[in-house]
Amino acid sequence: MNNDELKREYREDLTLFEGPWSRGLALFFVVALIVYSQFFAGNYVVFVMISIVLFVIAAVGLNLLVGYTGQISLGHAAFMAIGAYTHVILYSKGAPLLVTVPAGALMAAILGFVVGIPALRLKGPYLAIATLGFQVATDQILGRWDSLTGGRMGLGVPGPEIGSYSLAEPRTYFLLCFAVCLLVLVGAYNLTRSRIGRAFVAIRDNETAAEAMGVGLTTYKTMAFAISAFVTGLAGALFAHLSDRINPSTFNLFLSIEMLVMVLVGGLASILGSVLGATFLIMLQQGFAGASEYQWIIVGTILIAVLLFEPMGMRGRWLRMKYYFKAWPF
């Protein structure tokens, strides 16, 4: 290994980018996406790009819980629904967008904290069933509370505006969603390397050992659910503006499973894996849009193949390629 690659100080391990090449590549990728979305992509392509960006946010939120903390959830679409409905209800009453979107995420975080309480005593499939119950309960409440949520007919979604500036044009809305996505990625990446992130990983690896080292299981497990729900609720609030109406069927169990597949295919305990998994699955769905009846068969086949041959997901395959070429020709 080249001496320049050795890390001599602890703070070097906390840098966001490893060297100028990594920093330059990230900057090029961000600029390229912005330029392409604003000047070259058609409206449908921009719509797909917005969908990818929002599901990247949702996948990051789920990965913080499943990948880093080891808590299984089959109800994260419910947190997206809570974020979306809270945002639309407040926004329809005249509250500004910059207030209602965080409010939707905060409401999801509060309910995530409540759902996290059973996680103190439940593990594995039992926790998955509990979160599944939360998903079903949320669907029933949203579908039957006609006076607030519009029932099964749902709610109309006003066009997004910040002050007098309209964001209804897809290219403009993409810039907002992309900016939020970048903030979430940087925030989540820093969180995973902080004391809180290390506590999450310790709980995932061995709860008994983590508690013996002073990690409070009650505090960090409920915190993991709250943070994960906050990020997912944020994605849900922004997701609401992709259609004219939202209804409970938009945020069903299949969406929760879809998000879990994104995390597994992309790579557990990896922010990059969340990006890769969400991008891959959305692109796959678009590619097989004409054969929707076979989409889940294809997704299931890919998931089984990943679990059998590449448990680390797409991020694991990327690392293998990276280190192979880094060490080439030796």
Does 294 score more than 90 pLDDT?
no
Question: Could you tell me if residue 324 is inside a domain?
Answer: no
**10 within some domain:** no
Q: How confident is the model at residue 1 (pLDDT cuts 50, 70, 90)?
A: very low
Q: DSSP letters of 186-238? A: HHHHHHHTSHHHHHHHHHHH-HHHHHHTT--HHHHHHHHHHHHHHHHHHHHHH
| Averaged pLDDT for residues 173-183 | 97
Domain count, the chain: 1
Sign of the C-alpha dihedral computed for residues 223, 179, 75 and 199 taken in this order: negative
Angle at CA of residue 213, ends 210 and 219, nearest 5°: 60
Digit-coded pLDDT (tens) for 7-63: 555 555 556 666 677 788 889 999 999 999 999 999 999 999 999 999 999 999 999
| Tokens encoding 302 | 């890919």
What pLDDT is stored for residue 289 in this prediction? 78
d(CA 8, CA 330): 26
Does a structural domain hold residue 115?
Answer: yes
Average pLDDT of 206-217?
93
Sign of CA dihedral 93, 97, 99, 103: positive
Q: Would you say residue 285 lies in a domain?
A: no
The torsion angles phi and psi of 108, rounded to 5 degrees, stand at -65, -40
Give the closest residue to 268 by CA, choosing from 115, 63, 51. 63
291 is a domain residue: no
Q: Which domain holds residue 179?
A: 41-245
Please check whether residue 5 lies inside any domain of the structure: no
- How far from 69 is each of 66, 124, 204, 227, CA to CA, in Å? 6, 12, 5, 11
Task: Count other Cβ atoms within 10 Å, centred on residue 161.
Answer: 13
% of the chain exceeding 70 in pLDDT: 94
Asked if residue 36 is part of any domain, the answer here is no
Look up residue 29 and give its two tokens: 């990728």
The answer to whether residue 274 is domain-embedded is no
